[in-house]
């Protein structure tokens, strides 16, 4: 089976590499969607973040990107009968600066070309069907964990000292790309309400140029409290492992979230999480066989942090409590779904 993927590799998301490296080992021929690959037959095209078309800074740029994208899909379907699959990471882009009518136009055209969808959770499938009033050939395949990605990373016991953090300190963490929807200024403001000098907050991640305004907000807030450490820039797997090793609780007060790779990453590195109380995180909490997923209540994030961080967590082996997110299951289900969608051509 020949599969084109968009993307097939990623320097920022190990999920993509684990998915396609694993499928390649199972005998799938995976290549990146590119101009040179458009002139030979492919069985499937697997798309992950089509909403990138809608994140351009202008309507003209977005329209140009959409035209190229749409014509590419039409070409593959008409001339080679390629089946198109979408893994629904998000129902819409997090950036909302383009007109609503343009987003509706994009999804209306894109959805009509789909032959199947992969949903990372049952709740995301339900929301998809409600939002778009559309039932498609689909499979629910969870987001694979990151346990194996960090197996070869050695922990540096001096890392804590290099950040000026004592062993008696309780450390909150928020790691990953800095985006508006992640609500980081709110997290810092709520943390600053907590009167505890032994509690620290570390924010680490790279902010894209399009989010420069939030970067200024964060820097302004950080200057007001020396308990907050802001590490701006790309965070390598090595540094992530060191950060999570000293973190007692990862906090993700997202305003709008469908699925969270950051939550899975934190749990993979044996770090409890505090997340929004919505159907997606409730589903994650039910799937994890440990009380490591805490939900934000109506009592105020500062109070939730205090209550969550003082608990004594029985963490155990991440591969055990994330068994349902194991890559053997993810790859097996993905390959089976590929065969199901592809069978519609020949069966």
Residue-wise pLDDT tens digits, 169-180? 999 999 988 988
Closest CA to 189 of 251, 105, 129: 251
Cα separations (Å) of 189 from 171, 233, 254, 278? 16, 22, 14, 22
What's the CA gap between 241 and 218, in Å, rounded?
23
Question: Quick check: helix, strand or coil at residue 301?
Answer: helix
How does DSSP assign 173-185, residue by residue? EEES---GGG-HH
Bridge partner list, 274: 251, 294
Side-chain half-sphere CA neighbours of 141 within 13 A: 24
Kindly report the pTM of this predicted structure: 0.91
- CA torsion, ordered 18, 147, 157, 314, to nearest 10 deg: 160
DSSP category for residue 282: H
Whole-number Å distance between alpha carbons of 236 and 108: 38
Residue 347, pLDDT score: 53
Torsion of CA 267, 230, 164, 272, to 10 degrees: -20
List, in order, residues 6 or more apart from 154 with CB less than 8 Å away.
none
Q: Which residues pair with 250 in a beta bridge?
A: 173, 273
Residue 203 is predicted with a pLDDT of 96
User: What stretches in the chain show pLDDT beneath 50?
Assistant: none
| Predicted local distance difference test score (pLDDT) of residue 346 | 54
The CA-to-CA distance between both ends of the chain, in Å, stands at 15
Report the pLDDT value the prediction gives residue 139, as an integer from 0 to 100. 95
């Amino acid at each position: 089976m020949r599969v084109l993927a968009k993307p097939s590799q990623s320097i920022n998301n190990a999920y993509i590499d684990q998915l396609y490296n694993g499928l390649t080992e199972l005998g799938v021929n995976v290549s990146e969607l590119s101009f040179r690959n458009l002139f030979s037959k492919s069985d499937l095209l697997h798309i992950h973040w089509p909403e990138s078309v809608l994140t351009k800074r202008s309507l003209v740029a977005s329209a140009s990107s959409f035209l190229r994208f749409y014509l590419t899909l039409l070409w593959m379907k008409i001339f080679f009968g390629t089946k198109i699959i979408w893994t629904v990471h998000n129902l819409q882009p997090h950036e909302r600066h383009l007109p609503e009518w343009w987003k509706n136009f994009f999804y209306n055209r894109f959805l009509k070309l789909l032959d199947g969808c992969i949903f990372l959770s049952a709740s995301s499938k339900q929301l998809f069907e409600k939002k778009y009033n559309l039932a498609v050939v689909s499979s629910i395949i969870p987001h694979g964990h990151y346990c194996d990605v960090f197996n070869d990373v050695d922990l540096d016991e001096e890392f804590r000292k290099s950040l000026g953090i004592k062993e008696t300190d309780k450390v909150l963490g928020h790691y990953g790309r800095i985006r508006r929807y992640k609500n980081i200024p709110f997290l810092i403001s709520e943390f600053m309400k907590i009167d505890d000098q032994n509690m620290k907050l570390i924010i680490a991640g790279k902010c894209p140029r399009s989010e420069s305004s939030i970067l200024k907000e964060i820097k302004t807030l950080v200057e007001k409290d020396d308990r907050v450490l802001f590490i701006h820039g790309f965070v390598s797997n090595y540094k992530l492992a060191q950060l999570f090793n000293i973190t007692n609780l990862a906090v993700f007060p997202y305003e709008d979230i469908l699925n969270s790779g950051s939550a899975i990453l934190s749990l993979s590195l044996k770090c409890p999480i505090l997340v929004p109380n919505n159907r997606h995180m409730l589903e994650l909490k039910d799937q994890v066989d440990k009380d490591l997923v805490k939900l934000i209540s109506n009592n105020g994030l500062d109070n939730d942090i205090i209550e969550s961080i003082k608990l004594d967590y029985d963490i155990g082996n991440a591969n055990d409590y994330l068994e349902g997110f194991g890559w053997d299951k993810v790859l097996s289900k993905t390959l089976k779904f590929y065969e199901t969608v592809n069978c519609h051509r020949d069966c």
